[in-house]
């Protein structure tokens, strides 16, 4: 397959992404030709008003939703026309996701939730269990490895979600308002952890946040406005 970009140059590249949703009388154009490129190990923040399409963009970049138009390239490979199952398999290894609302399975404990990420990528063995435990130690949950996720605080749940995002050692972490449900000091602690882990394991990070302090910690700051990316340095 011809490669659109040099593998070593961009981890992810999106060109002219367009996404519409049906409205009552007409369609709502959420993404209107978004161009975006991310280098290996790079951190980028995306801000924008509520409803500006930030979550839609992350969903499209991760292949959770399909763009109507445009092109999506992961690690030099054009995945725009991949089947949903092929995309899902590739995504499980390539991307770790942290959501605002944690999305832990309530019937599972912290360790099982982290292992769920490994299960989605295919296999759970002793080495995945060891890695999951090590990640839970790394996020500061040594005493809560087998706690039911329903008995964890919001900050602890998000720490589990960070560990889950890392379990398959993805090259890219996407975080969609990861501190949006947390109080200020807990939010800062979770953000410190996320930035540290991404940096020490040389992951690329795309952070959607409303917090200007958090945005300033990333190497590049972008804004989504009227369905396009602003502050784009070419
Ligand atoms: N599945 C969907 N169906 C219809 N409209 C949607 C859907 N998802 C998002 N939207 C609309 O797209 C716009 C952008 O939403 P979203 O990406 O969630 O924005 P943000 O994350 O920036 O707050 C909003 O107007 C929202 O109502
Ligand atoms: Mg959102």
- Structurally, the chain folds into a number of domains equal to 1
Q: What stretch of H or E contains 222? A: strand 220-225
Which pLDDT score, from 0 to 100, does residue 8 have? Answer: 56
Residue 166 lies in a domain: yes
Residue 3 has pLDDT above 70, yes or no: no
Residue 89 lies in a domain: yes
Ligand 2 ion: nearby residues, β-carbon < 5 Å: 54-55
Give 45 Cα–ligand 1 centroid separation in angstroms: 19
- Residue range(s) defining the domain that contains residue 98: 40-65+81-230
Name, in order, each residue with C-beta under 8 angstroms of 198's C-beta and a sequence gap of 6 or more. Answer: 43, 173, 204, 205
Residue 221 lies in a domain: yes
Which pLDDT score, from 0 to 100, does residue 234 have? Answer: 44
CATH code of the domain in which 167 resides: 3.40.50.300
pLDDT tens digits, one per residue of 161-215: 999 999 999 999 999 999 999 999 999 999 999 999 999 999 999 999 999 999 9
- In order of 28, 121, 135, 141, the CA distances from 107 in angstroms are 37, 20, 20, 18
Q: Which of 213, 209, 205 is CA-nearest to residue 223? A: 209
Of the listed ligands, the closest to the CA of 56 is 1
Residue 183 lies in a domain: yes
Q: Which of 33, 164, 183 is CA-nearest to residue 103? A: 164
pTM summary value: 0.94
């Amino acid at each position: 397959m011809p490669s659109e970009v040099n593998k070593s140059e961009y981890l992810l590249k999106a060109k002219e992404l367009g996404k519409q949703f049906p409205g009552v009388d007409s369609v709502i154009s959420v993404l209107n030709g978004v161009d975006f490129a991310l280098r290996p190990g790079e951190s980028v923040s995306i801000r924008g008003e509520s409803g500006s399409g930030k979550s839609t963009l992350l969903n499209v970049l991760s292949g959770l939703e399909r763009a109507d138009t445009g092109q999506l390239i992961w690690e030099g490979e054009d995945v725009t026309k991949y089947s949903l199952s092929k995309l899902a398999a590739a995504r499980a290894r390539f991307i770790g996701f942290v959501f605002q609302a944690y999305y832990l399975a309530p019937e599972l404990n912290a360790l099982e939730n982290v292992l769920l990420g490994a299960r989605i990528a295919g296999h759970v063995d002793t080495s995945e269990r060891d890695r999951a435990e090590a990640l839970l130690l790394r996020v500061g949950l040594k005493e809560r490895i087998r706690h039911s996720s329903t008995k964890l605080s919001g900050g602890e749940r998000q720490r589990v979600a960070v560990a889950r995002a890392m379990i398959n050692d993805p090259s890219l972490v996407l975080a969609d308002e990861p501190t949006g449900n947390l109080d200020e000091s807990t939010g800062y602690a979770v953000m410190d952890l996320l930035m540290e882990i991404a940096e020490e394991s040389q992951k690329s990070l795309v952070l959607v946040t409303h917090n200007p302090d958090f945005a300033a910690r990333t190497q590049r700051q972008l804004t989504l406005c009227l369905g396009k990316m602003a502050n784009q340095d070419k």
